[in-house]
Structure 1
Amino acid sequence: MSSTTPSPTPAPSSDRTATGAPRAGGPGRLGDRTVSRVGYGAMQLARLDGDRAAAVRLVRRVVELGVDHFDTAAFYGDGFVNGVLREALRPEDGAVVATKVGAEPNPGGAVHLRLAQRPEQLRASVEVNLRELGLDRLPLVNLRRADTGPGLRAEGDQVVGLDDQLAVLTALRDEGKIDAVGLGSVSLDVLRRAAPAGIACVQNEYSLLSRADEETLRFCAAGGIAWVPFFPLGSAFPGFPKVTDEPAVRAAAESLGATPAQVGLAWLLHHSPNVLLIPGTADPDHLESNAAAGALALDPATLATLDAVRSRPGEFELG
């Protein structure tokens, strides 16, 4: 990547990326940027840490498929993923790279990451991301809280008030080091308290089978806040149902000549206009399939059948 932040992406009405490719899933809004509604979650690039050239090729293919929204973190592959994005992405791609703070690598630990919620840790993580990505300004930084959803829970000095965290992130925004602030793993109450600071997106666990956050999603839609779900197809972790195993999803896929994963992703895009997807993969074929899900049309009858599927959120927690 260039040592300077790429120019803003085209106007909201544009259905093509800066490279001229049709935007995967059409255009969506991420703060004041226009991005492809089907983005790319870069976490699984860490699986290619033994073949950096293959990782770079995969990112270049992501761009070719009309994706210009990338989601990363310094703790993905302990810096490997950010390094690949820096090498693979070019200024002319117009890529919007969103990263996250609030956790850090935990080498040798039972869990691969640990919380890093204190204000000084958030600032340090922003600096690490700037350096690893080769940018002088980060388009969006998501604060990964620990209020809700699967994952770690804060203890001891990691129990930090929202106001203290927002103070450092808005200060970094005022300093020109980040453009926009997002939140992850937050409750509706926390989001309501944070909204006056200007929140560009929310990353919470959400899928066809896990819709406990429906009220939070509606709050985001009403306020122009992007909804960027993680575990959009469920999870391989014990205790999480998989969207691709749901009979209604499999039946719809067979009827449409699509894969169950494509149906699960397409349902999310149809469900609310502020949904942006960041499916991740290290497999080129899965990458093509995920991008193609953005063009899958679901007729009213299929949507009604999928909407009627019972929500049953997972109960697995890390740590």
Structure 2
Amino acid sequence: MAKLPLADNPVFNLVMEAMTKDTPGSYEEFNPRYIQLLENLLYLKNSKFDAEKIVESLNITENGYIPDGVVIAEAIQDLRDRTGAGYDGVNLNMTFAQLKAKVAAGDFSGLHLYDYIDFSTTSGEAVRAEIMGFNTMLYFGDTAIMKPHVLMQTRDCLATTYSYNDNPDNTGGFNASKLKTSLETILTTFPADLKNAILECRRLESTKGGWSWYGRKLFLPTEVEVFGNVAWSEAGHGSGGSKQWEGYQRSYKHVIKGLGKGKADSGSRYYWWLSSPSASHATYFCYVINSGYASYDDARSGYGVAPAFLIG
């Protein structure tokens, strides 16, 4: 029994010649179409998929014979599982440098929301960074981001709490805060492999009563980027440059974070800061309360931070 000749590195192809009632029902007509479908599936799936099994199962050598499609159905179901609410990510088992090279080439195959890379800071803290979006900021900004990228964020907060400011004041927003300096310090503790893979992005941030563009390597999401709507942040300056991240659209599971790696999944939930100043108060910034809803508090409060960054 001959095998279908699948390409080693298939490309994704959506163009297929339609069959009509006049098309001969022979393997010469079916095989090229099945090859295309299989190569599309292989392109979309990671190494977990058994390519040999597909080739063996979908070989067609008899005129008029169409297989029952069990393997195709299994493949489609696997893709649904990886894009459904129950999917919680897998370890990518690659370095950030390898992820950067893959994404920079426009290759997102085998990558899904919540897939992650574990790393350690120079102080020895274990951290998990998970994918929260694909090309989330492509073409966006006063200087457009033109490179393909993935958006990543720490699954939980870092283990240390931070205050926004020493004084009860949100003047100038995130950019004028002590917390901005804290994030810059945090970046210095990340491994070189990660720091070298980060793509700087342009963030349109509220300055409390105004807004401005800033270059960021590490940043905190806005209220809108987490919840998809304004609750306590500014309706204009606080949301005009924001859209909800893909990773926050499915459920509250990834909105809930703990203080340190693995804490949320073990049931230990914590408050964490957003980058949005409160619209109606001069002393408050927005944050995610430990039960998962949007709130605000005094800038002097000590809460967790879950930094985000682009790889590309």
- TM-score normalised over the length of structure 1: 0.28
- TM-score normalised over the length of structure 2: 0.28
